[in-house]
Structure formats: C-alpha cells, structure tokens
C-alpha cells in the first residue's frame, strides 16, 4: 500500500482529497517533482530538493517544510510502502483561493508510487520521437501543465513514436518529459536553453566528463544529420536511445555503443547508491 503526506497528515494515498477551490484545479497553478529510490535511498536528494525549492520560488509558493523535515517525511513514506524501491511524487499547488486567483497558503502533497520501468525492448531497439514546434512556458519550472503532450498523444501513437521532441526556429530544446543528448564523435552535446534541467541529465553529464567532451549549448536541428547517436534522459528512462527523429534516422538507426556505455555507467552508479 502507498501512503501520502498532505498538509501535515499521512494517510493511505487513496484517502487523500483536494478541495475544489484549489488553484491547481481552477487555474492549473502548480508544480511537481518526481524521483526514485535505489536500495531504499532517494536518488540525488540534494539536487532534487534544490530544483523543487527553485521551482516553488519561481511560482512564488512558500515551502511549508524545510529540507530536513521533508526528507524525514520521504523516508517515513518509503518505510510505510514496505515494497523495496518506489517512486516519490511531490505536488505543490497555489492552495485554496476564496477569490479563485490569490495565493493564501499552498497545498503540499508527497506520496509514493509504483515504479513503471521502460520496456526492455526500447533499450534494445531505441525509440522514435515526433518533432513539435513548441517551447514550454517557464521551462525551468517543473510545472503540472502537460496539456501539449496530452493533446498530441494520438499523433504520437499514429506515428509509432514514443514522445515529442520540442524545437523552435530550428533549435532543439527537450522532449515532453525528458532531456535530449546527441553524440558526435567524442562530443556529447545537450541543449541549454528552454529546458528543465533534469537531474538524470546532470548525473550523465558528470559521469561522461572523463570520456567525452561535454558541450552544454544551443543545439540545432541541422546537427542531427551528422549525429552518430541520440538519447534521452529522465528518472524512469535513465539513458534511452533515440534512433529516429521524425523522418530522420539517427546514425545507422541502431542503438549506439556510446549510449549503451553511458547507460552501463548509470546502472553501475545506482547499483551502489
């Protein structure tokens, strides 16, 4: 059974309810974060907390708990789940607004969930993504607004693809729920504009320092023609190869050795977390 913390109370997740005047419901005003535990420990907790705190500050939502208090709640919920490793979801909204617009006191939800891993075949064969001319509003904030990918879901499925790759005026930013990398020779390149700065992205950049020239910079669509490999990173995807972008085949259309190498490095890290 999974449990959740909601404004100071811990109960089974299916017993948590949010009032209808919440700004997350009325105005879509909210943020979230999401991470996994490995060997019972939250992965990169310091980095996730920093991002959550910064997102809250950007939306002018005061945090009701400090870092250490929140960590204690997280470990309490992990212990109550009693099922090995879990996913943690934080959701913070503008709270209940009597005038439907003003922030009075934010609502904070923290809960554990089952982990839904990527099917192994996707690591073996890679995935396809669909290009979408779009840049997320306040991309540096992990907002609860995911209407773009939801509206495009049927288009993604019809194309036999797994996700969207956002670009604007020929410059790539990110996938709808993950970051983007290309490998060109010994260079590992990742966009640095109009993106959510992913924690797995940051981890991979650190792991790659010894073996790659890591470039964090604007990345043009035209550079995909010369790319040897491409992959995406996130909490659940880890390092997931991308073999096709729209109608363009990346490299030879197969999962590349350098993507596999970085996935192996990541797996080594989490095995000893």
Domain boundary among 73, 98, 113: 113
| Predicted confidence (pLDDT) at residue 83 exceeds the cutoff of 90 | no
What pTM, to 2 d.p., does this model score? 0.95
Residues 139-159: what's their mean pLDDT? 96
Domain final residue pick, 90, 113, 136: 113
Pairwise CA distance, residues 265 & 268, whole Å: 5
Last residue of a domain, one of 48, 81, 113: 113
Task: Quickly list DSSP for 118-137.
Answer: PPHHHHHH-EEEEEEE---T
CATH no. for residue 107? Answer: 3.30.470.10
Kindly report the CA angle at 147 between 143 and 149, in degrees rounded to 5? 100
Q: What angle do CA 186, 191, 197 make, to 5 degrees?
A: 115
Instruction: Domain of residue 26: give its range.
Output: 3-113
Q: Which two tokens stand for residue 99?
A: 């005038």
What is the tally of structural domains in the chain? 2
If you ran DSSP here, which 8-state letter would residue 143 be given? B
Note whether 132 and 109 are same-domain residues.
no
Mean pLDDT, range 190-205, rounded to an integer: 97
Specify the pLDDT at position 147: 95
Report the mean per-residue pLDDT for the chain.
Answer: 97
Helix (H) or strand (E) holding 25: helix 23-26
Indicate whether 99 and 158 sit together in one domain.
no
Determine the pLDDT at residue 252: 95
- Cβ–Cβ < 8 Å for 219, 245: no
Tens digits of residue pLDDT in 88-105: 999 999 999 999 999 999
Residue 149 and residue 103 share a domain: no
Contact between 217 and 192 under an 8 Å Cβ cutoff? The reply is: yes
Is the Cβ–Cβ distance between 142 and 55 less than 8 Å? yes
């Amino acid at each position: 059974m999974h449990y959740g913390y909601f404004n100071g109370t811990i109960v089974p997740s299916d017993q948590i309810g949010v009032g209808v005047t919440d700004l997350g419901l009325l105005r879509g005003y909210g943020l979230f974060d999401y991470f996994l535990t490995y060997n019972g420990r939250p992965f990169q907790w310091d980095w996730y907390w920093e991002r959550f705190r910064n997102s809250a500050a950007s939306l002018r939502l005061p945090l009701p708990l400090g870092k250490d208090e929140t960590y204690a709640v997280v470990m309490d919920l992990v212990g109550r789940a009693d099922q090995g490793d879990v996913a943690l979801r934080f959701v913070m909204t503008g709270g209940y607004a009597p005038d439907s617009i003003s922030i009075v006191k934010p609502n904070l939800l923290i809960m554990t969930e089952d982990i839904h891993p990527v099917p192994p075949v996707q690591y073996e064969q890679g995935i396809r993504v669909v290009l979408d001319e779009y840049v997320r509003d306040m991309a540096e904030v992990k907002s609860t607004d995911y209407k773009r990918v939801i509206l495009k879901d049927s288009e993604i499925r019809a194309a036999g693809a797994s996700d969207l790759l956002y670009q604007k005026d020929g410059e790539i930013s990110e996938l709808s729920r993950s970051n983007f990398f290309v490998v060109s020779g010994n260079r590992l390149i990742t966009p640095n504009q109009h993106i959510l700065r992913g924690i797995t992205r940051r981890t991979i950049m650190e792991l790659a320092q010894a073996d790659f020239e890591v470039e964090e910079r604007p990345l043009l669509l035209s550079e995909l023609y010369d790319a040897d490999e491409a992959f995406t990173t996130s909490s659940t995807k880890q390092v997931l190869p991308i073999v096709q972008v729209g109608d363009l085949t990346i490299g030879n259309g197969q999962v590349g050795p350098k993507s596999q190498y970085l996935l192996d490095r990541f797996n080594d890290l989490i095995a000893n977390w």
